[in-house]
Amino acid sequence: MHNSAMENTDQSTDDQEEIKRKVVNAIKDVYDPEIPVDVYELGLIYEITVYPVNNVYILMTLTSPNCPAAESIPSEVKTSVSSIEGVNNVEVELTFDPPYSQDMMSEVAKLELGFL
């Protein structure tokens, strides 16, 4: 038996967690054109925040400030996340602080690129 009062209080948190999972999956569809690994596994995503009305804020970096895809990757992330049903506004902010390093890659990415 479910306690409906409890469900109501947890609903917005559950919804935000569900949206966050969908955001991560959408970001995993975006690849750095020079590296066969998605930007999430590369460690380029520093922060994902889902606000109560399903506005999404993403703080990310690039492998280098001179990355040839500097314009396209953040806009691809925004487009991919914006396509999620229920997401309202998506803001993608680019930062180079802290600077990217290969230590930020997931083990999946390191295996894929032969670093492990």
Mean pLDDT by 10 residues, the chain (116 residues): 44 86 97 90 97 95 86 95 96 95 94 89
Question: Alpha helix locations (H) across 28-91?
Answer: 72-82
Q: Between helices 72-82 and 4-27, what is the axis angle to 10°?
A: 150
Note whether 26 and 90 are within 8 A (CB).
Answer: no
Q: Which pLDDT belongs to residue 43?
A: 97
**Quick one: fold of 4-112?**
GMP Synthetase; Chain A, domain 3 (3.30.300)
The radius of gyration of the chain from alpha carbons, rounded to an integer in Å, stands at 16
Domain coordinates of the chain in residue numbers? 4-112
Q: Are 116 and 105 in contact (CB under 8 A)?
A: no
What's the distance, CA 77 to chain centroid?
7
- What pLDDT sits at residue 15? 87
Strands of the sheet containing 90-94, edge to edge, are 45-50, 56-60, 90-94
